[in-house]
Amino acid sequence: MTPISLTGIKPTGNPHIGNYFGMYKPAISLTEKYLGMYFIADYHALTSLHDPKELNQLVYEVAASWLALGLNLERSIFFRQSDIPEIPELTWILSCFTAKGLLNRAHAYKAAIDRNTETDRDPDDGINAGLFYYPVLMAADILLYNSDVVPVGLDQKQHIEITRDIADAFNRTYGKTLKLPEGVIQEDVQSIPGIDGRKMSKSYDNTIPIFAPEKQLRKQVMRIVTDSRTPDEPKDPDTCNLFGVYKFFATPERLAEVRQQYLQGGLAYGALKQELADLVLAYFATAREKYDTLIADRSYLDQVMRDGAEKARAVGKPVLARVRKAVGID
**Nearest of 35, 114, 24 to residue 70 by alpha carbon:** 24
Region of 3-11, 207-215, 258-266, 291-299 interacting with ligand TRP (CB under 6 A): 3-11
In the complex, the smallest distance separating the C-beta of residue 251 from ligand TRP, rounded to whole angstroms, is 33
Member of 5, 7, 146, 241 binding ligand TRP (CB under 6 A): 7
Name the burial class of residue 29, with classes exposed (0-12), middle (13-18) and buried (19+) by CB atoms within 10 angstroms of its CB: exposed
Q: Does 143 bind ligand TRP (CB under 6 A)?
A: no
Member of 4, 5, 8, 80 binding ligand TRP (CB under 6 A): 8
- In the chain, what is the straight-line distance between the N-terminal and C-terminal CA atoms, in Å? 27
Region of 54-62, 149-157, 251-259, 260-268 interacting with ligand TRP (CB under 6 A): 149-157
Member of 30, 84, 138, 208 binding ligand TRP (CB under 6 A): 138
In the complex, the smallest distance separating the C-beta of residue 37 from ligand TRP, rounded to whole angstroms, is 9
**Nearest of 53, 36, 42, 33 to residue 12 by alpha carbon:** 42
Instruction: Check if the beta carbon of residue 140 is closer than 8 Å to that of residue 91.
Output: yes
Query: Phi and psi of 179, rounded to 5°?
Result: -85, 130
Q: Does 272 bind ligand TRP (CB under 6 A)?
A: no
Member of 31, 156, 206, 220 binding ligand TRP (CB under 6 A): 156
In the complex, the smallest distance separating the C-beta of residue 319 from ligand TRP, rounded to whole angstroms, is 15
Q: Does 150 bind ligand TRP (CB under 6 A)?
A: yes
Instruction: Check if the beta carbon of residue 180 is closer than 8 Å to that of residue 109.
Output: no
Q: Does 41 bind ligand TRP (CB under 6 A)?
A: yes
Looking at beta carbons only, is 7 or 207 nearer to ligand TRP? 7
Looking at beta carbons only, is 168 or 257 nearer to ligand TRP? 168
In the complex, the smallest distance separating the C-beta of residue 250 from ligand TRP, rounded to whole angstroms, is 31
In the complex, the smallest distance separating the C-beta of residue 139 from ligand TRP, rounded to whole angstroms, is 8
CA distances from 5 to 32, 88, 211 (A): 11, 21, 27
Looking at beta carbons only, is 82 or 156 nearer to ligand TRP? 156
Could you tell me if residue 14 is left (phi over 0), alpha (psi between -120 and 50 degrees) or otherwise beta?
A: left
Kindly provide the residue ranges of all beta strands, DSSP E only, lying in the chain, ordered along the sequence.
4-9, 35-40, 76-80, 149-152, 182-185
In degrees, rounded to 5, the angle at the alpha carbon of residue 132 between the alpha carbons of residues 57 and 325 is 95
Q: Does 23 bind ligand TRP (CB under 6 A)?
A: no
- What SS3 class is residue 150? strand
Q: Does 162 bind ligand TRP (CB under 6 A)?
A: no
What whole-number distance in Å separates Cα of residue 273 and Cα of residue 242?
A: 7
Binding site for ligand TRP (CB under 6 A): 6-8, 10, 41, 44, 138, 141-142, 150, 152, 156
